[in-house]
Amino acid sequence: MKKVILILCLAFGFSQISNAQVAFGIKGGINYNSNSIKEVSSDVFDGAKSKTGYHAGIWLRLKVPVIGLYIRPELVYTNLENEVLYKTTSKTTSYNFQKIDIPVLLGKKVFGIGNLYVGPSFQYILSSDFGFDDIPNVEADGFTVGLQFGGGIELGKLGIDVRWERAFSGIESTIVGNTGISNFDTRVNQVIVGLSYRL
């Protein structure tokens, strides 16, 4: 009898694993950086204004019917830009940086076409620089962690979503310019609008 129960449990387990749904696709969209340069060690910047950036990447979704949730990891390239007044020269310049985002989201399907999700986003800064040569060297910490949450809808293979991202830790950056060395925090808090396509 115990063997029969064990075989039935194993058969049920394998059937659930085989029923797990896997989907993957591509995505892209725009990012609005709602926070910019702050906590400067010396008063060298003023009037930071956020600009719209963009992102592109791939995603994977693993859905397990038993619990009704899915995990959606993504690999995304993101480009962001701010505009600041550099007080030393009284010039306005752009500060832009590129990063790799790896959000790992826990999601829930709602009303058949809707999705809600939340999870950590691991970020690696690839490069950062100012738009002119007065600040020749910028060094940024490579790794930060944030939180993403939001929702979206899917119509067939096409999906659109809106997310908010909040940084847990700052991006401690250092500039070497004519006035010496200054440290500043460029943590990213952003609104992300994305369009995805399931392959």
Global pTM reads 0.74
Residue 146 lies in a domain: yes
Tens digits of residue pLDDT in 128-178: 666 555 555 566 666 788 899 999 999 999 999 999 988 776 555 655 555
Number of H helices, E strands in the chain: 1, 11
Residue 100 has pLDDT above 80, yes or no: yes
For 23, 36, 95, 148, 184, the CA distances from 105, given in Å and listed in that order, are: 14, 25, 29, 8, 30
Contact 36, 80 (CB under 8 A): no
Contact 74, 103 (CB under 8 A): yes
Cα 72 from Cα 66, distance rounded (Å): 17
Name the one residue in this structure whose structure tokens are 């991202």: 165
Residue 1 lies in a domain: no
| List of residues 6+ apart from 196 with CB closer than 8 A | 25, 26, 27, 59, 158, 159, 160, 161
| List of residues 6+ apart from 177 with CB closer than 8 A | 44, 88, 134, 135, 136, 137
Number of domains making up the chain: 1
- Over range 28-57, report the average pLDDT: 70
Residue 69 has pLDDT above 60, yes or no: yes
Domain that holds residue 39: 20-198
Residue 76 lies in a domain: yes
Q: Which helix (H) or strand (E) holds 95?
A: strand 91-110
Per-residue model confidence (pLDDT) at position 24: 93
Residue 32 lies in a domain: yes
Cα 90 from Cα 97, distance rounded (Å): 22
More confident position, 58 or 187 = 58
Mean pLDDT of the chain: 76
**What pairs with residue 22 in β-bridges?**
62
Residue 31 has pLDDT above 60, yes or no: yes
| CATH number for the domain harbouring residue 78 | 2.40.160.20
Tens digits of residue pLDDT in 39-49: 444 555 665 56
Residue 3 lies in a domain: no
